[in-house]
Structure 1
C-alpha cells in the first residue's frame, strides 16, 4: 500500500516522538525504584511499565503502517 507523502511525514514524526517517549520511560529505571520504600517513590514503577508496553505497541503499529522493513527486527529485539 502506498501512502501519500503527507501521511508518511506524519508517521515518521509520530515514530520519532514515540521513540523519544520510550527513551524517557526506560531512563526512569522503574526496576530500581520498585526496591525503594513506597514513600520514596516519585512515580509508580508499574505505571512506567504499562506506559512502555503501550509505547511499544504504538511503535509497532506505526512501523506496520510505514511498511518499515525493520519491524520484524524490532519485535525480535524486544522479545
Structure 2
C-alpha cells in the first residue's frame, strides 16, 4: 500500500468517525428528546411551550443546522491535517 493510499484511508476513517458521532448526536436529539423522553421533558416549559414538543418541532432542526457547521469546521481541520486543503 502506497503512502498516498494510507493517508487517504486514514482520512476516510476519521471522516466516517466524525459522521457517526454527529449523526448519533442528531439521532439522540431528534428521536430521543422528541419521542422517547418527550413526557419527561414536557414537565419543563420554554416560552410557554413544553420542552418535549419544542424538541420535536424546532430543537432537532436547530441541532441539525449546528451540526452542519460543526461538520464543516471538523472537515476543514481534517483537510489541513492530511494536506487536502485548497
How would you bin the TM-score normalised by the shorter chain? 0.3 to 0.5
Query: Larger relative CO (CA 8 A, sep 6+): 1 or 2?
Result: 1
TM norm structure 2: 0.42
Normalized per residue, the structure richer in helix is 2
Structure of larger gyration radius? 2
